[in-house]
Amino acid sequence: MLEKKEKMVMLLLSEICTEKKSYLISADQIAEFVSQKYILSIAELDEIMVSLSKDNFIDVVVSDGKRGYFYCILLKNKGKTFKKDLAKQKRELYMLGIRTLCITVFSFLIGLLLKAIFS
């Protein structure tokens, strides 16, 4: 299970990297996107990239040159299906809530019926 910051980074990477096989993105671009909700440092971003790489979402190569700090990102199969998996997870959670609510209502009605029969 990914943490919130990792999910934000993966959302950005899955949106950007769909058109190309590999994509070059600066650390500032990623931090700017994530900064809408969270504060993210370069060291933290490096940890997130290593974590995503270990979890088989991406292949990453880091470049620190004159023009700045860049990542070369290649999405793996798990990274390409990230958005679909996230939507599926939300749908399953929604269905679990609906099912729990239905079972609760059904149990309440059965309780009322048994109370009416035996009183």
Host domain of residue 1: 1-80
How high is the pLDDT of residue 3? 86
Beta-strand relationship, 58-65 and 22-26: unpaired
Give me the mean pLDDT over the 7-34 stretch.
Answer: 86
CATH of the domain at 50: 1.10.10.10
Tracing tokens 């996107």 back to the chain, one arrives at: 33
Residues present in the chain in total: 119
**What share of the chain has pLDDT > 70, as a percent?**
99
**What DSSP line would sit under 54-108, residue for residue?**
HTTSEEEEEEEETTEEEEEEEE-HHHHTHHHHHHHHHHHHHHHHHHHHHHHHHHH
How far is 73 from 60, CA to CA, in rounded Å? 5
> pLDDT digits over 23-77, tens only?
888 888 888 888 888 888 888 888 999 999 999 999 999 888 788 889 999 999 8
Tracing tokens 């269905």 back to the chain, one arrives at: 95
Q: Above 80 in pLDDT, residue 19?
A: no
The domain tally of the chain equals 2
